[in-house]
Structure 1
Amino acid sequence: MQVKIKSENIAPLLDIEKHGNIYLLKNIKRLDYGYSCKLKWLKTEFNTLVSVKANSIEIIEENGKFYITITFNGREASINLHCSSILTVALKPLVWRLAKNLEKYSGYINEIKTSISSNQKNASLLEIFETKPSVSLDLRGTTCPIPEIESKKLILKAKPYDTIEVLVDHPAAVLYTLPEVAKTFGCKYFVRNMGDYASFVFICGRKEDFQLDLSDVKNLMRDESSIAKLYLYFDKIEKQIKTETINQDVLSYEGLTLIVASPEGRGWLLTALEDSGKIISARLDYGNIKLYDEDAINMINNFNGLINIYYLKH
């Protein structure tokens, strides 16, 4: 949906801490990169993550039910809704409301002061000690579970005390995924907000030599670091799909395959090892809940939304 706005000064429209009500946002909390907040529509509140860039805002529902992108270009704004087909009818009026809010608000935009300042790099541990990352990985433009998969592979290959920089622009990765990776491997980390993206830096701790025994895969699925070794072993992304539901068809692939699935907002993560349609073992991380094998598959069948699925091969 295209919206005419009445000023080219969009800075106040990007200041969601001060003017989040334009986007129906409340309980706004600043994160290392982006914001967490609630989007209230009619009688429903959605937990969302929001990223703000130089000329756009992205609002992501944490379980992947929908995400909304708002892009500013001169005196126009473009609002795009991405959601499962079942929610399209219900959420179209939400887009209309956002459009009306933007149109109305921009009428007196020049009278409003904004708290947004130019992006400045804060002094970090790396800058203080004048060191550079051992390796830098640019994952901007990717969504979960790719930041988790790729960062785990790098950490497993790294030497103790190596520094690994991961560049990401997906708030869920900075808030949930990468801190969980750091905890799993005993890494220290810090985050620099670079404006349109975040620099997430791991300082690697000591770790055991890489070993993987697929004959004991059920126990392997229950160990955090061993799951990371699966990503290193199955190191080729052979196929990626987007789907709205999980069923037997999407959990089937020819030959021994590691299947990794996650919604846009990284509300949950499924890791499954299958062989030509037969699930050997599976694990579902859903908040603080961890389910395995049949329990994981039964639970995942109840989920729907915008889901990314990756098929990895050795």
Structure 2
Amino acid sequence: MELRHLRYFRAVAEELHFGRAAERLHIAQPPLSQQIRQLETELGVGLFVRSTRRVELTPAGQAYLERVESILDAVDAAGQQAQRIAAGRQGALAIGCVGSATYSLLPRLVRALREELPELDVSVRGEMLAPAQLSALVAGQIDLALLRPPVNSDEVVVETIRRDRLFVALPEGDPLSSGDGVRVADLRDAEFIAHAGHGRSVMNGILASLCAAAGFVPQIHHEVEETSTLVTMVAAGLGVAIVPEPTASLGIAGVSYRPLVPGGPTVDLAVARVAGDQSPMISQVLTVLRRVAARSE
């Protein structure tokens, strides 16, 4: 018995006419009749009652049809699933993300993936510092990393997808929040809340570089790993923070955001993947990501 025997049987059972079933299957009627007889011989039961005027299913044939439909539907579904996976349209995807993009780009990306690639099972790990993302990426714990460059690793490929302006987050009512922008030099005496340092945060390095260019060393009073915690501490009046513009998407009350001037310094947002990964799924997701990132600039 082969799958074609089951497909032939289903066609005849649905048409209840050998001629129409043969046309549907694009074969001649005599070979079709022969295949059905072979199937009945192998099973040892009659599946059809034939007469010159009509064809009917026997009770055994009716019961057999229910199982055959289930089998053929499962075979067709398995083939379709294999095709979707091979095309990168189905599978499990894990994305890591830095804090500021967690609250801006990531929600739009997940919505777009749900609409365009509904068979993907997407999971996210937000509020991850770049080193943690790189470790997870190389270990196979995530498939894509949304992070801030630079990235010094030969094991991954990095692509810049967006450039964000840098803002200063100020406690509401701070005198500096009344202007259209803030100079880094104006923050000389400020108490800073920063992302965790010791080489673990790109933003920590950016803060040090900006302040050095303005001629001072920042007074860092608190270091945190999560952007949401950082902004919450600003709202509590514990200090100020340099953040990418999308951080404002958090919408935490008690914080004012002002762009850094002059020149409007920026920080890149990039996507990283394991070098040599030719997965069709990753290619599909990157296409969606580039489009979503371009719209959000």
If the length of structure 1 is used for normalisation, what is the TM-score? 0.23
More strand by percentage: 1
More helix by percentage: 2
Q: Which of the two has higher C-alpha Rg?
A: 2
Return the structure number with greater relative CO, CA threshold 8 A, min gap 6.
2
